[in-house]
Amino acid sequence: MTVIQNFSTSLSVRCLVACFAWGLVYQFDNTVFSDETVSTQPPNVILILADDLAIGDLASQNGGISRTKNLDRLATDSASFRQAYSGSCVCAPARAALLTGRYPHRTGVVTLNMNKFPKLTQLRLDETTLADVLKSQGYATGLIGKWHLGKGAEYHPMRRGFDEFEGFSGSQELSYFRYTLDVNGNLLEVSDQYLTDDLSNRAIEFVRRHRAHPFFLHLAHYAPHRPIEAPEPRVQFFRDRGLDQTTATIYAMIESMDQGIGRLLDELEHLGLADNTIVVFASDNGPDPVPGERFNGSLRGTKYQVYEGGIRVPLFVRWPGVVPPGSRDGVAHFVDLMPTILDCCGIPIDPKLAIDGASLRPRLENPALDARPKRFFQWNRGVPNYTHNAAVLHGRWKLVRPFVTRGLKLQDSLLPPELFDLKNDPSESTDVTSNHPEIAAALEKDLAAWCDRVEADRLRPQQADGSAEH
**Min CB(436)–Ca ion separation in Å:** 33
- Give the range of 89-97, 213-221, 240-248, 405-413 binding Ca ion by CB under 5 A: 89-97
Q: Which is nearer to Ca ion, 93 or 417 (CB)?
A: 93
In the sheet that holds 140-146, the strands lie side by side as: 186-190, 179-183, 164-168, 140-146, 215-220, 44-50, 277-283, 315-318, 79-85, 326-333
Q: How far is the CB of 180 from Ca ion (least distance, A)?
A: 20
Check whether the bond before 224 is cis (ω within 30° of 0). yes
343 makes contact with Ca ion (CB under 5 A): no
Helix (H, G, I), strand (E, B) or coil at 277: strand
285 binds Ca ion (CB under 5 A): yes
Q: How far is the CB of 285 from Ca ion (least distance, A)?
A: 5
Residue number with CB closer to Ca ion (276 or 285): 285
- DSSP sequence for 122-141: S--TT---HHHHHHHTT-EE
Q: How far apart are CA 133 and CA 337, in angstroms?
A: 13
Task: Report whether 74 contacts 269 (CB < 8 A).
Answer: no
User: Which listed range, 213-221, 245-253, 282-290, 332-340, lies at the site for Ca ion (CB under 5 A)?
Assistant: 282-290
Asked whether 297 and 238 are in contact (CB, 8 A), the reply is no
Please state whether beta strands 277-283 and 315-318 pair in parallel, antiparallel, or not at all (unpaired). antiparallel
Stretch in the footprint of Ca ion (CB under 5 A) among 47-55, 131-139, 237-245, 331-339: 47-55
Report the largest interatomic distance among the alpha carbons of the chain, rounded to a whole angstrom. 69
- Smallest distance from Ca ion to CB 287, Å: 10
Q: Which residues contact 356 (CB under 8 A, 6 or more apart)?
A: 101, 102, 103, 106, 335
Residue 52 found at the interface with Ca ion (CB under 5 A):
yes
Is 91 a binder of Ca ion (CB under 5 A)? yes
Rank residues 285 and 389 by Cβ distance to Ca ion and give the closer one: 285
Asked whether position 57 contacts Ca ion by CB under 5 A, the answer is no
Stretch that binds Ca ion, among 44-52, 147-155, 362-370, 412-420 (CB under 5 A): 44-52
Per-position x/- string for 125-154, each x denoting binding to Ca ion as judged by CB under 5 A, each - no binding: ------------------------------
Which of 44, 51, 250, 333 touches Ca ion by CB under 5 A?
51
Q: How far is CA 81 from CA 115, 183, 197, 328, in A?
A: 35, 34, 27, 5
What are the residues whose beta carbons fall under 8 Å from the beta carbon of 209, sequence distance 6 or more?
A: 11, 140
Minimal distance in Å, beta carbon 123 to Ca ion?
16
Nearer to Ca ion, 18 or 195 (CB): 195
Nearer to Ca ion, 224 or 357 (CB): 224
In the chain, the amino acid numbered 451 is C
Does residue number 54 form part of the binding site for Ca ion (CB under 5 A)?
A: no
Q: Are 58 and 47 in contact (CB under 8 A)?
A: no
Of 207-215, 256-264, 276-284, 401-409: span binding Ca ion (CB under 5 A): 276-284
List, as own/partner pairs, every contact residues 344-353 make where C-beta atoms lie below 8 angstroms and the sequence separation is at least 24, other chains included.
344/43, 344/45, 344/278, 344/319, 345/42, 345/43, 345/45, 345/134, 345/137, 345/214, 345/278, 346/42, 347/42, 347/133, 347/134, 347/137, 350/128, 353/100, 353/101, 353/102, 353/128
Closest contact distance (angstroms) between CB of 196 and Ca ion is 15
Stretch that binds Ca ion, among 48-56, 102-110, 267-275, 304-312 (CB under 5 A): 48-56
Roughly how many angstroms between the first and final C-alpha of the chain, as a whole number?
40
Compare residues 52 and 166 and give the one whose CB is closer to Ca ion: 52
Report the residue number whose CB is nearest to Ca ion: 91
Residue type, 326: G
Exactly one of 198, 284, 308, 418 binds Ca ion (CB under 5 A); that residue is 284
Stretch that binds Ca ion, among 184-192, 283-291, 329-337, 459-467 (CB under 5 A): 283-291
Size of interface with Ca ion, in residues (CB under 5 A): 5
Q: Cβ 317 to Ca ion, closest distance in Å?
A: 20
Of 91 and 207, which CB lies nearer to Ca ion in the complex structure? 91
Binding positions for Ca ion, rule: CB under 5 A:
51-52, 91, 284-285
